[in-house]
Amino acid sequence: MVSGAGRLGLVVLAAGVFLQAHAALAQTKDDPLIGRWVLDRARSEFSGNVPEKRITIFQLQPGGMLKHITETVTANGSTDRVEYASKYDGKDVQISNSFLWTVAVKRIDARTTERSGKVNGEVVETSKRTVSADGQTLTIVTTGTNNGNEYSSTQVFTRDKTGT
């Protein structure tokens, strides 16, 4: 017979194994985020400048890393490319070409992830990314502050099936 403390230890161990397995399964080729997404400007809302075009790509990398690339064409025709690679472990990773210094990503449920962006160790931006049940729409809701200026957006993307 297992004592009360022993049962608690087994429950904690089982929960830990479940969470590790869930995290490992969360970053597989079956992850609904994997793919190329195109911004639907008509269905999106921005508190600031609206991009002319935006493509967001999520690629599974070796070691279970998820590479995130966003290419944005601005009103003046220039292209910005932001990228990082992370796991859904909530640990800070470097982000390139952004005012953010680091980002941390965690899984909320099978179709939802959350990214926190930091400057000087302080969270200044939060993005919730949700893939629709049919896997064809990605909605990213972002709120943040940059140099004291608040911003927000609800970006609606459609899955790009052309691969171009």
- Return the CATH number at 101: 2.40.128.20
Residue 136, in any domain of the structure: yes
Residue 114, in any domain of the structure: yes
Are residues 39 and 27 in contact, defined by beta-carbon separation less than 8 angstroms?
no
**pLDDT value of residue 48:** 84
Structure tokens at 4: 């009360």
Are residues 99 and 80 in contact, defined by beta-carbon separation less than 8 angstroms?
no
Q: Which residue has the tokens 């608690």?
A: 8
For 103, the domain range is: 29-159
**pLDDT value of residue 118:** 98
Residue 5, in any domain of the structure: no
Residue 16, in any domain of the structure: no
Residue 14, in any domain of the structure: no
How many domains does the chain fold into? 1
Residue 64, in any domain of the structure: yes
**How much is the pTM?**
0.81
SS3 state at 15? helix
Are residues 118 and 99 in contact, defined by beta-carbon separation less than 8 angstroms?
no
Cβ neighbours around 23 below 10 Å, total: 16
Low-confidence ranges of the chain (pLDDT < 70): 1-29, 163-164
User: Distance (Å, rounded) from C-alpha 87 to C-alpha 23?
Assistant: 9
Are residues 69 and 82 in contact, defined by beta-carbon separation less than 8 angstroms?
yes
Residue 18, in any domain of the structure: no
